[in-house]
């Protein structure tokens, strides 16, 4: 499987047609490079708020619902492009209005028009304390024609038990947006750790550059990256590909899912199989005074 992860700049949109053209150009470019799985970033859909005007885009509460109102149309556009180019797309996550508060929702869209929905599980402090975005549906393992795919949205990638819930996945997509290099590295380190623990591929995408029209986004720092278990048949660094910080565009890597299966069965280490050996060990830790 060839994977493309986006370092995606957010624009001020003046028309829906402009958004259609932008997304079509990105998808066409990845497809021309024979990518089969395309991963767009967390909150990359926030640029849709600018279609309601910059005053709405700058209003934290109004921007949530302005984007949510566009989500169904955005999904139709992604379905059209996925079908046209025969690719699987992890669409940029977006606030989706629910019965109480909006969730942060990514969608996996297949070439035959199916849509898998994955909501973020654990909110950052900004999301929970300021924006009042809430956690959504349970973690999903999506069975597709190109393999088993899961999604951990940004902060979720930093929690081992969420990654473990997706241990059946061949690929875990990690859509992200971070406003500092420290945030980028937290998500990257989390993505690499999940690839190590689950002996799988993780594919991190990022928003990049300025989005000064949004108090939620501001200046974004990030890069595309595709990570693997540092084991037989893979780079010793655990890095299949990693782009320069804040350089817009796609990052590509070939993910050998057959080699993932071989490493899980007979790797130098067997982290995924040996996960259960932790049970009880942390519970039996005792305090030892060396004073």
Q: Which fold has domain 2-268?
A: Nitrilase/N-carbamoyl-D-aminoacid amidohydrolase (3.60.110)
User: DSSP string spanning 142-159?
Assistant: EEETTEEEEE--GGGGG-
Q: CA-CA distance, 235 to 228, in Å (whole number)?
A: 8
**Across-strand partners of 251?**
5
Q: Does 68 have pLDDT greater than 90? A: yes
Q: Write out pLDDT tens, residues 21-31.
A: 999 999 999 99
Least confident among 13-22, 211-220, 260-269, 274-283: 274-283
- 238 contacts: CB under 8 Å, gap ≥ 6: 192, 195, 196, 227, 228, 229, 230
Reference 275, options 169, 161, 173, 192; nearest CA is 161
pLDDT at 29: 98
**CB 196: neighbour CB atoms within 10 A?**
20
Q: CA-CA distance, 42 to 217, in Å (whole number)?
A: 11
Alpha-helix residue ranges (DSSP H) falling in the chain: 16-32, 54-57, 60-68, 71-85, 125, 160-165, 181-198, 257-266, 271-274
Q: Does 141 have pLDDT greater than 80? A: yes
pLDDT at 286: 82
Reported confidence tier of residue 280, pLDDT bands at 50, 70, 90? confident
- 43 contacts: CB under 8 Å, gap ≥ 6: 92, 93, 94, 104, 177, 207, 216, 217
């Amino acid at each position: 499987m060839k994977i493309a992860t986006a370092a995606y700049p957010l624009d001020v949109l003046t028309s829906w047609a402009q958004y259609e053209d932008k997304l079509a150009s990105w998808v066409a470019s990845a497809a021309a490079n024979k990518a089969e799985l395309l991963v767009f970033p967390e909150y990359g859909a926030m640029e849709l708020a600018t279609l309601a005007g910059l005053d709405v885009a700058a209003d934290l509460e109004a921007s949530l619902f302005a984007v949510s109102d566009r989500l169904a149309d955005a999904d139709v556009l992604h379905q059209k492009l996925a079908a046209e180019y025969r690719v699987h797309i992890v669409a940029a996550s977006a606030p989706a209005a629910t019965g109480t508060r909006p969730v942060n929702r990514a969608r996996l869209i297949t070439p035959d028009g199916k849509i898998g929905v994955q909501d973020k599980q654990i909110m950052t402090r900004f999301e929970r304390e300021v924006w009042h975005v809430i956690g959504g549906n349970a973690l999903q393992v999506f069975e597709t024609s190109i393999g088993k795919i899961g999604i951990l949205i940004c902060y979720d990638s930093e929690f081992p038990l969420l990654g473990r819930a997706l241990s059946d996945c061949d690929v875990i997509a990690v859509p992200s947006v971070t406003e500092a290099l420290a945030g980028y590295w937290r998500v990257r380190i989390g993505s690499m750790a999940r690839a190590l623990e689950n002996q799988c591929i993780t594919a991190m995408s990022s928003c990049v550059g300025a989005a000064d029209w949004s108090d939620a986004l501001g200046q974004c720092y990030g890069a595309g990256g595709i990570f693997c278990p540092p084991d037989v048949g893979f780079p010793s660094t655990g890095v299949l590909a990693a782009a320069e910080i804040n350089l817009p565009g796609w990052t590509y890597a070939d993910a050998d899912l057959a080699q993932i299966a071989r490493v899980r069965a007979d790797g130098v280490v067997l982290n995924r199989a040996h996960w259960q050996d932790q049970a009880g060990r942390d519970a039996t830790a005792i305090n030892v005074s060396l004073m």
